[in-house]
Chain A
Amino acid sequence: MISGTVVWGVIGFLLTVMVLSYLIHDSLFFRLAAYLLIGLTAGYLVVLLVNRVILPHLIWPMAEASWSQRLWLLIPIVLGLLLLVGQIPRLAQLSRIPLAYVAGLSAAVAIGGAVFGTMVPQGQAVLEAFNPYRIYAEPQLVWVRILDAGVMILGVVGTLSYFHFGQPLKKINRTDERKRPKALQILSRIGEVFLGLTLGAIFAGVFSTALLALIDRIAVLGEMIGQFLGGL
C-alpha cells in the first residue's frame, strides 16, 4: 500500500523536474506544470474569496442583521453586482460606479498611507538620529552615533535629490538632459551611492533566498532519486 506521503512526494518530484527543465529549454513540461499551478490556485482562490470574504462579510451578516442593517448591506451587494454586470461590453459603463468608489478609496488609502504610514514615520526616524539624548546616552563611541546622524541626513537628502524629475530651467541641449538643477545634481551624486548600497544589500538577500530555493529543489530531487535507487 503506497502512502499519501509517497504519492505527493512523487508528484512534487515530477513537478520540480518539469519546472526546472525550463533552465535548459522552455518545454511542454514547464508549461504543463505552470498551467496546472495557475488552474489549481485560481480555483482555490475562488473558494477562498467566497468562503472567507464574500460569505462572512455579506451573506452571513445579511441573514443575521435587522432590516435597517440589511439596507446598509444592500449597498456593497449592489456595487458588487454592478462590477460583475459591467463586464458585459454593452453595460461597461455600469462598472464605472464601483470602480469610481474603489478609486476614491484607493486614493485616500494611498494618501493616508503615504503621509502617515511612510513619510512622517521615516522622517521622524531621520530626525531621531540627531536626538542629543540618544547620541550622548552612552559616553563611549559618541563619534559613531554622530557619524551615523550625519550620514543619515546626507544619504536621505542625497537620495531624494537623485529622484528630482526636472532638468535645469535654463535652456539646454540634448546632451544635458540627464542633469538636474546644480545644487541637486551635486547632492544626487551622493544619493546615487546610497541607492547603490541599498540595492546591493537587497540584491544579496534576494539571491540568497532564491539560492536556498534552488538548493532545496536539488536536495528534494537527490533524496527522491536516492530513495528510488535504494528501493530497487
Chain B
Amino acid sequence: MAYLICPECGAHNPPEEEQCRICQTSLVGMEPVEEPAPPEGGEEELGLFNEEENDLPDLLQGLKLEDIEYEIDPEGLPEINLDDGLDSGEEEGRTPEWLDAVRKRAQVEDDSVGDLIKRVEAAQESVSGEDQEKHSDFESWIQKLRDEARDEAAGNAIAPEEPVDQAEPDAEVEPSKPEPEPTPGPEPEPGEEHSDWLTRIRKAHGIVDPEEGPNAASRSLLDWLVALEDNAPGEEDSPAIRDETQEIETGWERLPHEDITRQIKVVLEPRVTPQALNLTREESDQADLLSTIITDEKADHPVARRTYKVGVQWLNMLFLLILVVGISLALFTGGTAGLAQPQLSTGGAALMAWVDDLPEDADLLVVFDYQPAYTSEMSLVAEPILTSLTGWTVRVTVASSVASGPLLADELLTGAGLTYTDIGYFPMASYGGFGVATGLSTGQTAPGLPKPAQAMLGRGYDGVLVLSDNFEGAQTWIEQITARAPETPLGVLATSQAAPLLQPYFESGQIVGVLSGFSDAVALGDLSDSDSGLGPRWRAYQVGVLILMVALILGAVFAPAKRSSNRQRGDK
C-alpha cells in the first residue's frame, strides 16, 4: 500500500492526506511511497519490526493505552508472556489489566503494539505450520538465543538443552521482584540451527543483554525491546557501530540568542554483518532489522538544548543597574529645573471640568476595578479628583469588580476623608457591570445584586466614576452603563496602559472625560510643590522612559540583519 512520509517528522500518512497527522506539515507535492512487498515464505512473519514499530515511545504508550471498545473476548486469545518482569508487583498467575488491553488491541487495532503481537502470533503459527518442531515457542526461542550468547561470551559451550530458568546461576537477585516462572513450551532444539545467528550478531555488535537479571528467563521479545530503550543511553558510544554524523536543525535556532544544533548519530548505511558470520538471506534481513532497532535506540534523540549565554544575563543586569541607578538619582537628588511639564489630555481636562460642575451634595457611584499592584499610579491619578471633592458633602457608593476592591476603596476614600457605602463585590466584572447598569436604569431587580445593593442603585446618581487599571475593564463598564443608563454621566480614571484606547470613548461622547496615566496626574499637579513628591517621581519617570527608548534603539541597531529573513515565526 502507498503512503506519504512526512518530511518533518517522518510519520506515515495516507496518500490522500494534505498535511501530516502528527505535526501538520504540508504533504502537498510529496510523492507517495510504496510499501515494500512482503518477502515470500516465512520472511513476512519473521519481519517483526517495521518502521512504525521501532517507535518505542509509541510502543510503550501502547502498553498503557486502553482507549478502545473491545469487540473480542480476550479469553480466546493465545497466551504471550508479556507480563512477567514488567509487572513484578502483580500477583503470580494473575494477568494485569493493561496486558489484557494490549492483547485485545492486538485483535482490533493496527497500532504498533497490536500489530507487533499479531505478527508474533503469525510468526509462531507460520513457523509451526512449516515445521512443528521449529520455534514452536517464539519467546523461549529468543530466550535461548540470549542464553547462548551469554554462554558464548563467557566462553562456555552452548548447551541447547539447558533449562531456561538456570540460565543465570550467578545472577544477582532483586528481593523486590518475585522469582520468574520458567516459560512452558516444547524444547526448541531444532531451532538451534536458526537461533545462533542472532547470538553472533549480538556478539558482533557487542550488545550487553539488557535482560540480565532474575527475570531474564521469562521475558518476551517485546519486554526485551522495552528494556533495550532503558539501557540505550549507557551504550551510546558502542565502538561496534559505524556512524556518520550530520547537523540536525532542532528548531531552537530561532530562540533569540543562540542557534542550537547538535550532532545526532544517523546510520547512513544498512548494517553489514561480518563475513565470518556466513549468514543466510533470512538471517541477514533479521540482522538489518535488529541493527536498525538497536542503533535507533542508541542514537541521540533530537533533544533541544540551549547553550546558556552568560553574556546576555550580564547585559540585562547592566541595563537594570542603569535603570535603577538613574531612577534613584532622579528621585533622591533635589531640584526640578529642566523638567518638561506634560500637556493635560483633553479628556483629563473635561473630567476635571465635569467634577467642578458637580453639586456639593452630589451622589456618586465609584467603581473599583483595579488591582493592588496599580495602587501607586491610581492614587496619583485619583488625587486631583479626590482633592476637589474633599470638604464637599458628596454621598459616595462603592462597587468592586476585583477581589481587593473593598480594601482599596477603604484606603483611597477614607484616606481622602470621604465616607462611602459599599454595595458589594462582583466576581465577574461584565456581570457586575450588567447588574449595576440595570439597577441604575430601572432601580428594579438586578441580577447578581443583593437586595441592599439594589436599594442603593434604585436612586439616580449624579455620576459614575470608574477606576480601572486596564482598557478591557474600563470598556466593560463603559459599554454596560452607557448602553443601559445613558443619562448617567460616566467618567474614567485609568492607568497609562489603558489610556491609548480610551480616548475615542471620550471623543464619541460616551464618557464625560478620562484622566489617565501619570502624565495627566503630573499635568494637574504642581511640580514645584515638594510635598506632593510629583517632581522627583516625574523626573525619575522621564529617566526611565528615556532608558527604554535607548534600549529599543540599541536592540534594533545591534540586531543581526539575517534575522529579518529567518525570523518569520508565527508570520511576524
Contact = CB atoms under 8 A, between A and B. Distances in A.
Contact of B403 (A41, A205, A208): A41
B38 interface: no
Given A23-B320, A53-B427, A212 B541 contact: yes
Contacts of B537: 212, 215-216, 219
A71 interface: no
B376 A213 contact: yes
Contact of A202 (B29, B320, B501, B548): B501
B331 A212 contact: no
6 contacts: A45-B403, A109-B430, A202-B497, A204-B500, A208-B541, A211-B548
Interface string B473-503: 0000001000000000000000111111100
Contact of B533 (A49, A57, A213, A219): A219
B376 A208 contact: no
A188 B376 CA distance: 40
A205 B25 contact: no
A56 B540 contact: no
A138 interface: no
Contacts of A24: 317
Interface in A184-232: 198, 201-202, 204-209, 211-216, 218-219, 222
A173 B403 contact: no
B430 A113 contact: yes
A101 interface: no
Contact of B327 (A52, A125, A174, A218): A218
Contacts of B508: 125, 128
Contact of B425 (A52, A117, A128, A216): A52
B376 A216 contact: yes
**3 cross-chain pairs, A with B, having the tightest CB-CB distances, nearest first:** A56-B450, A208-B496, A216-B376
A189 B206 CA distance: 60
Interface residues of A, number: 42
A164 B91 CA distance: 58
A151 interface: no
A188 B4 CA distance: 33
B26 interface: yes
A197 B498 CA distance: 15
Contacts of A182: none
B571 A57 contact: no
Contacts of B564: none
Contacts, number: 113
A90 interface: no
B26 A205 contact: no
Contacts of A45: 403
Nearest to A201: B500
A205 B533 contact: no
A48 interface: yes
Nearest to B376: A216
Most buried by A among B404, B471, B500, B536: B500
A172 interface: yes
B327 A215 contact: yes
B348 interface: no
Contacts of A117: 430, 479
B153 interface: no
A174 B377 contact: no
A212 B518 contact: yes
Given A117-B479, A214-B544, A219-B533, 8 more contacts: A24-B317, A48-B403, A202-B500, A204-B500, A205-B496, A208-B518, A208-B545, A209-B377
Interface in B72-131: none
A48 B401 CA distance: 12
B307 interface: no
Contacts of A215: 327, 331, 537, 540-541, 544
Most buried by A among B373, B406, B497, B536: B497
Contacts of A56: 424, 450
Contacts of B28: 171-173
Nearest to A197: B500
Given A48-B403, A121-B479, A218-B324, A206 B497 contact: yes
A222 B571 contact: no
B568 interface: yes
Contacts of B424: 52, 56
B477 to A, nearest CB: 12
B230 to A, nearest CB: 31
Interface string B231-261: 0000000000000000000000000000000
Contacts of A218: 324, 327-328, 331, 540
A192 to B, nearest CB: 8
Contacts of A53: 425, 427
Contact of A174 (B25, B404, B500, B545): B25
A199 to B, nearest CB: 10
A44 B403 contact: yes
Nearest to A196: B572
Contacts of A178: 568, 571
Most buried by A among B7, B320, B448, B479: B479
A45 B425 CA distance: 11
Contacts of A222: 328, 331-332
A175 B182 CA distance: 58
B331 A208 contact: no
Contact of B496 (A113, A171, A209): A209
Nearest to B476: A117
Nearest to B317: A24
A115 to B, nearest CB: 13
B517 interface: yes
